Amino acid sequence: MNVYENVRMAWEGLKANKMRALLTMLGIIIGIASVIGILTIGDGVSNTVAGAMGSLGASNISVNLQRRSSDIPGNRRIFVTEDDRITEEMIAALVERYSEAIAGIATSRNVGGGQVRDGRDYANVGVTGINDGFLEVNAVEMLRGRTFNERDLDRGRNVAIVSDRLVNNMFDGDMDVAIGQEIAAYVGAAIYPFVIIGVFEHEMTVFNFTSAAERDISTPLYIPITTAQRILNAPDGYTTLTVAAVNTVDSTAFADQIANFLNRYYTNNEYFFIQTMSMESMLESLNTMLATISIGLSVIAGISLLVGGIGVMNIMLVSVTERTREIGTRKALGATNGNIRVQFVVESMIVCLVGGMIGIFLGSVMGYIGTSIIAVAILPTTQSIAISVGFSLGIGLFFGYYPANKAAKLDPIEALRYE
């Protein structure tokens, strides 16, 4: 009496009672389908986010000016003053100290959101002053024209690098026409003229996702950082900058070194200090968070598996009662308690396995549709399929054992007499 024979016997038993078998499986189907669906969608989201962050530069380290405590007693000072800012001198010292580890440094200054207008044409923009390292560090891809040169930066010229979206809105997508044109940017009450010198590709990612109409999507309009400082009449120094580490450097460890280095300038600053974070560690914590959410949701879906398992046990108990005479007969013909136990456990496992497979199929469909809405459609991993199959069998074993044991322990005489 081998496994194959038990499986065949169980399969024939199920075929004889299709409707009941299907209803029994329903809980398992729903449970497995939800777990698979959730895990797949979770994977899809985390792939997309990781991809988007990677495209921003996986080896980037963000350096931020942070308040020491949110609860400063006495004379509260919450605004950044000129003394607190990260200065050009600090940056220069940093670059000198770690010249072999730094691939580039990006600083920027936000001028404000506004609109470029020309008659009835318009494009929403965020005017941002950037330094010479910004485009490379942030992996901005140039489509046409040039980037800022030393003279643009030194003199604070009114030149701009615009997005392909702006070119679409204002110049019917003709980049060659756009370059050299003067545009008027309306920011707040002011109007600033800029000459377009280059066009970059604006990519939509999960980070700049917006519900705005295609035409109204706001894109950056880059100007030299010196120009921005002149416009804003702002003090020197920065509150935030991005350091791109060279590929061979462990960016998480390097982030700590940068913090230690820069914080020497802040030992006497009561209110502010420098905090750094590598994209890598951000990615890691983001992935951890997504995984936690996935697991949390899966646990909830797992409850339906539990309910499904109890359903299987219930039906198996009914089945044992219904087949008491059959069990008695089998025992009279020489079946041992073990034979009977295995027969019913296998039957319960088959129910759960078939239910699990249907669930995996439905869950894959759910996951595929779900991920195709968010980003790129993916199928569940072989790992999650293997776990689901194992889990289904486990539920069958766990919830089938009690009924099977009850069947095995039936007294053959009583069972044969059962009406």
Q: Is 213 in the site for other proteins (CB under 8 A)?
A: no
Per CB under 8 A, the list member of 70, 233, 333, 383 interacting with other proteins is 333
Distance, in Å, from the CA atom of 280 to the CA atom of 404, rounded to the nearest integer, reads 52
Contact between 297 and other proteins per CB under 8 A? no
The Cα–Cα gap between 126 and 103 comes to 26
DSSP 174: -
The one among 214, 334, 382, 383 contacting other proteins by CB under 8 A: 334
Helix/strand/coil for 240: strand
* Count of residues engaged in binding other proteins, rule: CB under 8 A: 22
**Minimum CB separation from other proteins for residue 417, in Å?**
9
Strand ranges in 5-91 using DSSP code E only, listed in sequence order: 60-67
Tell me if 257 sits within 8 A of 98, measured CB to CB.
Answer: yes
CB of 356 to other proteins, least distance (A): 24
12 in contact with other proteins (CB under 8 A): yes
Element housing 145 (H / E)? strand 142-145
Burial class (CB in 10 A: 0-12, 13-18, 19+), 109: buried
Cβ atoms of 252 and 280 within 8 Å: the answer is: yes
Candidate list 57, 328, 359, 400; residue touching other proteins; CB under 8 A: 328
Choice from 109, 165, 202, 331 touching other proteins (CB under 8 A): 331
Tell me 158's DSSP state: -
The answer to whether residue 318 forms part of the interface with other proteins (CB under 8 A) is no
Looking up tokens 């078939």 gives 354
To other proteins, the closest distance from the beta carbon of 411 in angstroms equals 8
Tokens of 198: 């280059």
User: By C-beta, is 151 or 325 nearer to other proteins?
Assistant: 325
From the number of C-beta atoms within 10 Å of its C-beta (0-12, 13-18, 19+), residue 9 rates as middle
Residues with Cβ within 8 Å of residue 274, at least 6 apart in sequence:
63, 64, 65, 66, 86, 258, 259, 262, 263, 265, 266
Q: Least distance from C-beta 8 to other proteins, angstroms?
A: 10
- 324 near other proteins, rule: CB under 8 A: no
Interaction of residue 96 with other proteins, rule CB under 8 A = no
260 is an interface residue for other proteins by CB under 8 A: no
Who's near 74: CB < 8 A, 6+ residues apart? none
Contacts of residue 35, defined as CB under 8 A and 6 or more positions apart, other chains included, come to 298, 301, 302, 305, 359, 363, 384, 388, 391
Give whole-number Cα distances, 172 to 169, 238, 352, in Å: 6, 37, 60
**Rounded distance between C-alpha atoms, residue 27 and residue 351, angstroms:** 11
412 in contact with other proteins (CB under 8 A):
yes
- Cβ 312 to other proteins, closest distance in Å? 20
Question: For the chain, what is the radius of gyration of the CA atoms?
Answer: 33
48 lies in the binding site for other proteins (CB under 8 A): no
With CB under 8 A as the contact rule, the residue among 184, 300, 386, 413 that binds other proteins is: 413
Shortest distance, position 319 Cβ to other proteins, whole Å: 12
Are the CB atoms for 308 and 27 separated by under 8 Å?
yes
Q: Which is nearer to other proteins, 369 or 413 (CB)?
A: 413
* Binding piece for other proteins, criterion CB under 8 A, among 28-36, 198-206, 304-312, 408-416: 408-416
Task: Between 15 and 76, name the residue whose CB sits nearer to other proteins.
Answer: 15
Q: How far is the CB of 5 from other proteins (least distance, A)?
A: 7
Site for other proteins in 15-34 (CB under 8 A): 16
Q: Least Å distance between CB 331 and other proteins?
A: 7
- Complex with other proteins: residue 257 or 329, whichever CB lies closer: 329
257 with 250: CB under 8 angstroms? no
Contact call for residue 406 and other proteins (CB under 8 A): no
Nearer to other proteins, 136 or 326 (CB): 326
Question: Contact positions toward other proteins, by CB under 8 A?
Answer: 1, 5, 12-13, 16, 325-326, 328-339, 412-413, 416
